Amino acid sequence: MIQVKNIQKSFGKLRVLDRVSFDITESGIVSILGPNGSGKTTFLKILLGMVIADKGFILYQGQNISHSHRYRNKISYLPQIARFPDNLKVKEVISMILDIRNEPANPESLIELFGLAKYMDQKLGNLSGGTRQKVNIVLTFMFDSPVIVLDEPTAGLDPVSLIKLKALIKREKSKGKIILITSHIMSLVEELSDEVVFLLEGNICFKGTVEKLKAKTNTEDLEHAIAKILES
């Protein structure tokens, strides 16, 4: 489904991704892990066409995504920081995205789920970080895309919403979707992930299930497994 071939990207002298290649063929949840600055977000942005790779390419359903934009119809993206135009109202930003994508969507149930109804007429600039993240989640999950990309989805969420989000992710997974997640919350990754891609200094140093990672590092939980990789 998604094939990543030799992706290389530098910002100035800093090499963020160095010949990264991997394939995601089956549906399920893939977590992309790594320390700060390891290139996780950059990779996701390349996948979404927001950052242009220096070398290499990504195939989505066999099609090269560079110079294409239609494939983004099939991807929903939750950016790391929920930033919106400040003087738009919540309902305006939702209807704008609906208008631009022009696809069947179901925002109402999500609005209800996260209790956003009372904020619909508020300007985004006046909302708290957590509420904005909820709007962000609504925008991401309201479309029925086969691929969902979540960059730090839990940032700023209260526990209740976190539980709702996890349920939501699991529900989408059950529909046979590919879900890419980056997160620093290891418990979340351990709970959800079918597969883990571990990035370190621009290279993949591990790819496989959480169990394999634990077995390889001979540790009890994911947090320690990662710590061990980083130490070695």
Q: Determine, following the binding rule CB under 8 A, whether residue 48 of this chain makes contact with other proteins.
A: yes
Nearest of 108, 110, 106, 170 to residue 144 by alpha carbon: 106
The site map against other proteins for 84-123 (x = CB under 8 A) is xxxxx----x--xx-xxx----------------------
The pair of structure tokens assigned to 110 is: 């999500």
Strand-strand pairing, 55-60 and 2-11 = antiparallel
Cβ burial of 118 (10 Å; 0-12, 13-18, 19+) is: exposed
Close Cβ partners of 185 (under 8 Å, ≥ 6 residues apart):
154
The pair of structure tokens assigned to 161 is: 């919403």
Q: Which range touches other proteins (CB under 8 A), out of 25-33, 47-55, 162-170, 174-182?
A: 47-55
Q: How many residues bind other proteins (CB under 8 A)?
A: 27
Q: Determine, following the binding rule CB under 8 A, whether residue 11 of this chain makes contact with other proteins.
A: yes
Shortest Å distance, C-beta 82 to other proteins = 9
Q: Determine, following the binding rule CB under 8 A, whether residue 71 of this chain makes contact with other proteins.
A: yes
Q: Which range touches other proteins (CB under 8 A), out of 20-28, 83-91, 181-189, 210-218?
A: 83-91
Q: Which range touches other proteins (CB under 8 A), out of 24-32, 69-77, 172-180, 218-226?
A: 69-77
Coil, helix or strand at residue 202: coil
Nearest-10 Cα torsion for 156, 52, 202, 19: 150
Point out which residues bind other proteins (CB under 8 A): 11, 45, 48-52, 69-73, 75, 77, 79, 83-88, 93, 96-97, 99-101
